[in-house]
């Protein structure tokens, strides 16, 4: 058996701990470019997710609260326009988590963005139509139908988020 002297074992142990600590403490690179396009769009996407996700939870699991849903949707609609001007061909530096084509295939990226905004417009139409039909004391059947219509429009938006992430975002 290959028995190591205790001091060597301890040394190896310390080296392993140091390596772990180092990787855990490695700071995220900061966006130091003027206007911080990368950090700004990441912040906007996070804000967008904070409005988008609760709508999905309500549609899938309930309880459905029309006023809360509409509040999330309004804020989401506003945010949906915002990240795009921060994507330019010189914005693929760390801390960006993007695939290289995000900065070389701007036309393809633009098409994904248009598909997304089209689906968002579809959700907007559904929200106008369906939330209007939900009187506070609406029938259970009306609510079930409204939720199904909203969920279909919501899922289309979700798919366009995923389509773009698959092609342009680095996991
Ligand atoms: C047209 C493309 C596109 C669409 C549409 C899109 N995203 Fe993204 N998203 C990206 C890219 C690219 C990144 C990586 C940005 C970076 O790190 O610079 C990203 C990053 C994110 C992040 C991580 C932000 C961070 O802190 O690193 C979240 C969260 C996110 N998107 C949510 C969403 C949601 C939710 C939707 C739909 C409602 C959506 N995105 C639609 C391209 C898109």
* Residue 109 CA, ligand 1 centroid: distance in Å: 12
Written as tens digits, the pLDDT of the chain (171 aa) is: 455 556 665 566 556 555 655 556 667 789 999 999 999 999 999 999 999 999 999 999 988 899 999 999 999 999 999 999 999 999 999 999 999 999 999 999 999 999 999 999 999 999 999 987 776 666 788 888 999 999 999 999 999 999 999 999 998
CB of residue 48 inside a 6 A radius of ligand 1: yes
* Residue 25 CA, ligand 1 centroid: distance in Å: 25
* Residue 46 CA, ligand 1 centroid: distance in Å: 8
SS (H, E, C) the chain: CCCCCHHHHHHHHHHHHHHHHHHHHCCCCCCCCCCCHHHHHHHHHHHHHHHHHHHHHHHHHCCCCHHHHHHHHHHHHHHHCCCHHHCCCCCCCCCCCECCHHHHCHHHHHHHHHHHHHHHHHHHHHHHHHHHHCCCCCCHHHHHHHHHHHHHHHHHHHHHHHHHHHHHECC
> Which residue's CA is the nearest one to ligand 1's atom 1?
113
CB of residue 87 inside a 6 A radius of ligand 1: no
CB of residue 106 inside a 6 A radius of ligand 1: no
CB of residue 91 inside a 6 A radius of ligand 1: no
* Residue 170 CA, ligand 1 centroid: distance in Å: 10
Determine the CATH number of domain 36-168: 1.20.120.10
Is there a binding annotation on residue 161? Answer: yes
Q: What is the pTM of this model?
A: 0.87
- Domain residue spans of the chain: 36-168
At residue 18, the pLDDT reads: 59
């Amino acid at each position: 058996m290959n028995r190591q002297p205790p001091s060597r074992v301890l040394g190896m142990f310390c080296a392993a701990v140091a390596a772990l600590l180092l990787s855990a403490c490695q700071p995220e690179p900061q966006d130091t470019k003027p206007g911080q396009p990368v950090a700004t769009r990441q912040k906007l996407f996070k804000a967008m997710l904070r409005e988008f996700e609760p709508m999905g939870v309500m549609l899938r699991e309930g309880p459905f609260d029309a006023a809360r849903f509409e509040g999330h949707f309004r804020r989401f609609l506003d945010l949906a326009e915002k990240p795009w001007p921060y994507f330019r061909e010189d914005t693929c530096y760390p801390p960006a988590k993007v695939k290289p084509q995000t900065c070389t295939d701007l036309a393809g990226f633009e098409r994904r963005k248009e598909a997304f905004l089209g689906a968002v417009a579809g959700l907007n139409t559904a929200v106008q139509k369906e939330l209007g039909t939900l009187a506070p004391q609406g029938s259970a059947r009306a609510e079930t139908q409204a939720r199904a219509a909203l969920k279909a429009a919501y899922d289309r938006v979700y798919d366009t988020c995923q389509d773009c992430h698959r092609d342009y975002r680095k996991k």
